[in-house]
Amino acid sequence: MPALKKCYHIRKGDFIRAGEASIQAKNVLKSLNLDPELIRRVAICGYEGEMDVVIHGGDGELCLAINSDRLILDITDSGPGIEDIERAMQKGFSTASDEHREMGFGAGMGLPNMNNNADHMEIKSEKGKGTQVQMTFSTTRGGNKVE
């Protein structure tokens, strides 16, 4: 059982509320007085993951679980899924529509950025069923990723 677990709903296509789940998660981390560098990395991952759900996924949620030594950020949705995860992870790969590109999304940098900022990232996805992106962060050592 994690010491603390919070989940926030994410709605597909809801650009009015987009970003709120990751802001709320960030506020929880701030209230716990965690290392600002760790909070920054988790916030980047949360925001990128949340926007992927809004743009490419379906309805879903962002969950934050904190244990004594690690933090788990779980972003799941019940959208179309990712057909080729390896390809989706490549820098610059994007299936964003013209409309989303006009809004500034679609550089194909979100997943690589999340992978760089988390200590560990795992994607599980099934076509037609949805996607789970799970990222873990150590809370016991300094902010920077050890390569």
Q: Which is nearer to ligand ATP, 41 or 56 (CB)?
A: 56
Interacting residue with Mg ion among 110, 115, 117, 131 (CB under 5 A): 110
53-92 burial, b at 16+ Cβ within 10 Å, e below that, comes to bbbbbbbbbbbbbbeeeebbbbbbbbbbbbeeeeebbeee
Residue 120 CA, distance from chain mean position: 12
Does residue 46 touch Mg ion according to CB under 5 A?
no
- CA proximity to 109, closest of 16, 117, 9: 117
Applying CB under 6 A, does 45 fall inside the site for ligand ATP?
Answer: no
Q: Which does 94 bind (CB under 5 to 8 A by kind): Mg ion, ligand ATP, none?
A: ligand ATP
Interface residues toward ligand ATP, by CB under 6 A: 48, 52-53, 55-57, 77, 79-82, 88, 93-96, 105-111, 131
